[in-house]
Amino acid sequence: MWSRLLCITWGLSSGMVISTGMASFITAMGIIPRLLTKSNIETHCVAATNAAILGTIFGNIIVLFHPYIPLPSFVIGIFGLCIGIFTGCLAAAVTEIVNVFPVMGRRLHIYLGMRLFIFSFAMGKLVGALYYWLYPGFINI
């Protein structure tokens, strides 16, 4: 009884600390306003921030309780596509804010072909994700 209560408390407090740290990281780096500026919809900053907060809450509920939501396959596909687009945009915004590619390009002396370099990173991510999800038994390796 006490061990389960301790595990529940530990898990909830760890989740709160991690989600608070992630939210403060995204806010401190200015990722959401930068993403909105790049999308030319900076007038909807409050709505985007509320959507990010609601998405975090909804994601935590899904992870904690594993509810069964009967959805058709095409809706799940669209949902997965939206998650992938958001993750890619978020990664691109973080990369742009931190200036990873320009700094790496200068240090590696890559002056020509920077677009090809970035495209190869994106394609590597795509191939790795497809291999992970489509190769049967990959998780058990």
Per-residue pLDDT tens digits for 39-56: 788 788 788 878 877 877
Angle between helices 45-65 and 31-38 (to 10 degrees): 120
pLDDT of residue 72: 92
As given in the structure block, the two tokens for residue 22 are: 């992630």
Q: How confident is the model at residue 60 (pLDDT cuts 50, 70, 90)?
A: confident
Q: Is residue 86 over pLDDT 60?
A: yes
